Every structure is written in structure tokens, then in C-alpha cells.
């Protein structure tokens, strides 16, 4: 995730850097670094999940009986 994309994500979410750090489960210093240098894939995926309104993974989905 490029730095500009990370910055756009924070703006879209309406969060401060501190709130973004809290929601991503990382430090404010990491958010500062992502804003400057871009974010790794794991953070980009977490950003996408948060933007989609998803929360933390809660385990395996229930089987649907097709298998």
C-alpha cells in the first residue's frame, strides 16, 4: 500500500493517526511510518477489512453441508 493510499484511507475513515493506530492494533509511530513510506500487505488488508466494516476473525465459518 503506497503512502498516498494509506493517507487516503485514514482520510476516508475520518480518523486521526492515533485512532488509526488504535484500530489497526499498532503504534502511532508505525502509522507515521506508513504515512511516509507506505504500509505492508498485512496492514493494507487490515485497512480494507476495516473499510468494509469487518471486525476481527472469530474462527472458522460454519459448514454449509455441501462437502
Q: Which domain holds residue 20?
A: 3-51
Mean per-residue pLDDT for 24-48? 98
In this structure, is residue 37 part of a structural domain? yes
Spatial separation of the C-alpha atoms in residues 10 and 66, rounded to whole Å: 40
Does the pLDDT value for residue 67 go beyond 60? no
- Model pTM? 0.83
The packing angle between helices 41-51 and 3-13, to 10°, is: 20
Mean per-residue pLDDT for 29-40? 98
Does the pLDDT value for residue 2 go beyond 70? yes
Mean per-residue pLDDT for 21-38? 98
> How much of the chain, in percent, has pLDDT values that exceed 90?
81
In this structure, is residue 26 part of a structural domain? yes
In this structure, is residue 11 part of a structural domain? yes
Instruction: Say how many CA atoms lie within 13 Å of 15 toward its Cβ.
Output: 19
Does the pLDDT value for residue 33 go beyond 60? yes
Number of structural domains the chain divides into: 1
In this structure, is residue 45 part of a structural domain? yes
Amino acid at each position: 500500500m503506497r503512502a498516498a493510499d494509506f493517507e487516503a484511507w485514514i482520510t476516508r475513515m475520518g480518523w486521526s493517526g492515533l485512532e488509526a493506530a488504535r484500530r489497526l492494533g499498532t503504534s502511532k509511530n508505525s502509522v507515521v511510518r506508513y504515512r511516509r513510506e507506505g504500509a505492508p500487505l498485512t496492514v493494507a488488508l487490515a485497512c480494507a477489512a476495516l473499510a468494509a466494516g469487518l471486525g476481527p476473525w472469530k474462527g472458522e465459518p460454519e459448514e454449509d453441508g455441501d462437502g
